[in-house]
Chain A
Amino acid sequence: MAMLESLDTSPSFAADEVEASLPDSVTGYRSFRLGAFTLSRDEYFVRIQWPAKGQQRSHLIPADAFLRATMRDVAWGFFYGWVNFDDVIGTRNHYGKVDLYAGTFNGVLREAGVDYTERFETPKIMATFKAILRDWTNAGFDPFAAPEETGSAFGRKKGDNLEAIERFRVATRRMPGLPDDSPLRDDLPVNRQFADVPQDEPEIHAAEGFEGELHAFNLYKYLSRSDVTWNPSVSSVCKASLFCPTTEEFILPVFHGNDRVEWFLQLSDEIIWDVADKDDGSPRARITMRAGDICAMPADIRHQGYSTKRSMLLVWENATPNLPQRYESGELKPYPVEF
């Protein structure tokens, strides 16, 4: 969660607004209604249906990909801007309200007029997404993990994995490890792919009378113990400037279109980013980042990252509230510097 404000995402919040069917007699899964959308799943696929041009339209997403995307959208409180689950389905955050769309940011579908968008109060769509995650995530599947670390999302309903989808979310006010701030991760094990990362802490030599006023920690150790992938979490706060490092493995489960500029600094290993037009999805660039590389993600693109080895990435956000309007009005250019 990379924002200063926080949403109530407890399982019970707005639960009475969730419209769920009884479990299907064959697959065991419930289906859900969200306005004019219907969401259902079977052994392999999630099916999303919506009305357009007098017909029912539909789209299928593999269940594992859908659950990984929904997990991020829920954990991030709908994040900044557009969270595209794939080239068709996604959400747009209006910070209090959220659009769910089908095809609206796909150039071909939109041109054909078969797209559909509906706006929801955040508590309703959040409660529905959480109910979907609880029902559709089977025992043994962790939608926050990389594929090599977890079991299968496929098949008929068998158990659940509430622990995985309701992990405590870190909200850092100043810096982890300070009194009354988010904790360090000494209790979590080092991830198998970071076994070679040194675990020593910085030496702090406070003068007499200043005990507890100096603060430092091993950021790489902290990241090596992250138990989730692709989950920017705040590690330092300079007014609205948020350092949100995260550990990445496999594919970013969403194609993120930001409503502001963000920056990536690759701290270890390598990520390849597919970059496309935010509005219609047409490809723009493919960026390879290795340790020490830093680059901006302009405000008019969407991006999706690929990381073979688990890698450390610093995501840098500016959490100033009025930025989406300033970019949309043209007051601010989509890219951050001119030279």
Chain B
Amino acid sequence: MSTAAFRTVFGSLDDYRKGSIEIIQGEARHYAFSNIFEVAGQSAPYEKVVVGLNLGYVIETLRADGQSPWYTAAHDEFAISVDGEVRVDFLKLDEPLVEGDGTRLAGPQPKGRPMGYVLLKRGHQALLPAGCAYRFDSPRPGVLLVQTILGPLSVEKWADICLK
């Protein structure tokens, strides 16, 4: 029996192997199949590219590279770092957003009290609480997943990212 240890394969911007669809009947595009590392590799820093859409709810892939704008939302959002290391700073807004769906820009210098920051490595997930502002910072290119609702910053470009 082999004693070689199991190796868990994660993807990264520099190292991923996209899968495939073998169609028997129907159309490949109905599966909206993309790879988040490929998408992030082709995106501008912090471009919120929609890779999953379910009746208004979205999963977005962001290329984490340098400092992002301040964001806010009227509902909880979540971020998972899937490649690289990212710092997330939080502000308790003096005037929190209370209406609307999806991520909004909070302005260049939102008014609020610094709540602190979290440092995310690969596989780490952070809560982005409703009504707070948050900002990402990544010294080297990385990849983030954001669970949120389709908003004014969401970018849909399915034909560019999906298998057809």
The distance from the CB of B79 to the nearest CB of chain A, in whole angstroms, is: 9
B32 engages A296 (CB within 8 Å): yes
A174 engages B119 (CB within 8 Å): no
Q: In the complex, what residue of chain A is closest to B81 when comparing beta carbons?
A: A202
A207 and B117 CA atoms in complex are apart in Å by: 8
B36 engages A287 (CB within 8 Å): no
A235 and B22 CA atoms in complex are apart in Å by: 31
B18: which A residues are within 8 A, CB to CB? 290, 292-293
A200 engages B121 (CB within 8 Å): yes
Q: In the complex, what residue of chain A is closest to B83 when comparing beta carbons?
A: A292
A198 and B123 CA atoms in complex are apart in Å by: 9
B129 engages A291 (CB within 8 Å): no
Given A238-B77, A337-B53, A291-B116 contact (CB < 8 Å): no
* A221 contacts B by Cβ under 8 Å: yes
* B26 contacts A by Cβ under 8 Å: yes
A244 and B140 CA atoms in complex are apart in Å by: 29
Cβ-neighbour of B52 out of A196, A287, A294, A334 (below 8 A): A294
Given A267-B10, A285-B31, A294-B36, A204-B116 contact (CB < 8 Å): yes
* A6 contacts B by Cβ under 8 Å: no
A291: which B residues are within 8 A, CB to CB? 9-11, 16-17
Cβ-neighbour of A263 out of B7, B52, B125 (below 8 A): B52
A241 engages B149 (CB within 8 Å): yes
A294 engages B149 (CB within 8 Å): no
A204: which B residues are within 8 A, CB to CB? 116, 118
* A169 contacts B by Cβ under 8 Å: no
* B59 contacts A by Cβ under 8 Å: yes
The distance from the CB of A58 to the nearest CB of chain B, in whole angstroms, is: 30
Chain A 214-227 interface mask (CB, 8 Å, partner B; 1/0): 11111111000000
A216: which B residues are within 8 A, CB to CB? 118, 120, 124-127
Chain A 191-203 interface mask (CB, 8 Å, partner B; 1/0): 0111111101111
A284 and B3 CA atoms in complex are apart in Å by: 39
Task: Report the count of interface residues on B (CB-CB < 8 A).
Answer: 68
Could you list which residues of chain B lie within 8 angstroms of chain A, going by C-beta atoms? 5-11, 16-26, 28-38, 51-55, 57, 59, 75-78, 80, 82, 90, 92, 113-127, 129, 145, 147-149, 156, 158-159, 162
The distance from the CB of A283 to the nearest CB of chain B, in whole angstroms, is: 5
Q: In the complex, what residue of chain A is closest to B145 when comparing beta carbons?
A: A265
Could you list which residues of chain A lie within 8 angstroms of chain B, going by C-beta atoms? 174-175, 178, 192-198, 200-207, 209-210, 213-221, 235-241, 243, 261-263, 265-270, 282-298, 309-310, 312, 316, 318, 320, 323, 332, 334-337, 339
The distance from the CB of A281 to the nearest CB of chain B, in whole angstroms, is: 12
B24 engages A241 (CB within 8 Å): no
B28: which A residues are within 8 A, CB to CB? 285
A220: which B residues are within 8 A, CB to CB? 10, 122-124
The distance from the CB of B149 to the nearest CB of chain A, in whole angstroms, is: 7
Q: In the complex, what residue of chain B is closest to A277 when comparing beta carbons?
A: B25
A174 engages B8 (CB within 8 Å): no
A283 and B21 CA atoms in complex are apart in Å by: 13
B82: which A residues are within 8 A, CB to CB? 267, 292
B19 engages A217 (CB within 8 Å): no
Q: In the complex, what residue of chain A is closest to B6 when comparing beta carbons?
A: A193
Q: In the complex, what residue of chain A is closest to B146 when comparing beta carbons?
A: A238
The distance from the CB of B3 to the nearest CB of chain A, in whole angstroms, is: 12
A206 engages B115 (CB within 8 Å): yes
A282: which B residues are within 8 A, CB to CB? 25
- From B59, B115, B123, residue with most partner A Cβ within 10 Å: B123
B38 engages A292 (CB within 8 Å): yes
Cβ-neighbour of A296 out of B24, B30, B78, B114 (below 8 A): B30
B6 engages A206 (CB within 8 Å): no
